[in-house]
Amino acid sequence: MNDKELSGKVIEFRRHLHRIPELGNKLPKTRAFLETYLETLDCELKDFGTEGFTAWFECAEDNAAPCLAFRTDMDALPMEEATGLEFASEHSGCMHACGHDGHMSILLGLASWINENMGKLPKNVLLIFQAAEETVGGAMDLIAEGVFEEHRPERIYGLHLWPGYPLNVIASKPGGLMAGACLPRVAVKGRSVHIANYREGRDALYAAILFINRAYAWGQEVQGEIPHLLRFGVFNSGVASNVVAGSAFLEGSIRSYAAETVDIVKDRMKRIAEEIEKETGVSFDLSFDVGYPPVLNDPEIYEEAKTKLIAGGFDWLEVTEPALYVEDFAFYQQEVPGVFFHLGTGVDAELHSTDYTIDEDALLTGVRLFRSLIF
């Protein structure tokens, strides 16, 4: 199969998968489509407990040949599609708005190419199909279930289709490419009174506003020295317009590229809370849920891949500022060294938007990118 034929095949895969988006760990139609195709190829499929599975290609003649792993995510988002595409989602309230349909199609295209070149390749290949990237971090489940136990790869690769970059440009960087996340929750306890007697109360709403303003101001002050993002997306307080709020609740996100940075931000938040407690008489209760770690590209593997891909004629962009998005590919990198790439789609539609789409020419570039790394 030549590249023109392969491109057509990958686009067909993408359009079919785009029609049947599914959420989280419940992916019966998606998985059935993927496995039905892979069963026609010379590979071994292995199921895991959370809808994830692998396809193992023993394609090198040398029994001691190293193994490479490539990963795709499979789940979609709970959104109503507004693209108007002929192959738009057939599942109401569900849409592939983050490119996972393209990621899966690229891996199926890679599988097709590997199958045609069995016995000619210097390395064996493990393809990882993972659920729940958008929700509970399905990578963690696959690792816990032993995804690397039978076939231990020496390195792992992944990619994300990326709007904003020109079509077919590959973008990455050594070290931190995408942020890690920590989810702070702030509960403020005050005392409710009638608003006419506000001096006798303890205004939790006011204290929460002070907390947000001071945390944001500190973040701006130290940003050059301590790169991070702290923002709150949830603020609930009060029961009536004429009652001093007796409680308030904040929920947000800390994003950074180093665990020590998160610790610094958490410590500052606690100190700000203590200051406001003394000033206002309210009490603060802070908790922090650990989210995804940062995507950290192995510098040596990155330089090797960069050199190989540039020599192969790919358009390359070295990222100067890491993205503040998170990606659970980071969990695999804690087990196996590897590199994550962004692949430009040449379309301005934002990720996670109801009109998100891609230029499908990028799909063949994704296949070519991955197959170049096998040699």
d(CA 62, CA 49) in angstroms, rounded, equals 31
Q: Cα-flanking dihedrals φ and ψ of residue 339, to 5°?
A: -135, 140
Task: Name the residue with tokens 């789409």.
Answer: 357
- Out of 75, 81, 133, 134, which one is annotated catalytic? 134
Q: Which residue has the tokens 């007697």?
A: 197
Q: What burial class does residue 212 get, using C-beta atoms within 10 Å of its C-beta: 0-12 exposed, 13-18 middle, 19+ buried?
A: middle
Report the candidate in 250, 138, 127 with the shortest Cα–Cα distance to residue 188. 250
Q: DSSP characters for 77-141? A: BS----S--TT--SSTT-B--SSHHHHHHHHHHHHHHHHHTTTT-SSEEEEEEE--TTTT-HHHH
Lookup: tokens for 287: 């908790």
SS3 314: coil
From CA 36, how far away is CA 55, in angstroms rounded?
Answer: 12
- Quick check: is 277 catalytic? no
Continuous H helices in 223-290 = 259-280
- Which one of the listed residues 22, 51, 73, 203 is annotated catalytic? 73
Q: Is residue 134 flagged as an active site residue?
A: yes
Yes or no: say if 6 and 363 are a contact pair by the CB < 8 Å rule.
Answer: no
Instruction: List residues with catalytic annotation.
Output: 73, 134
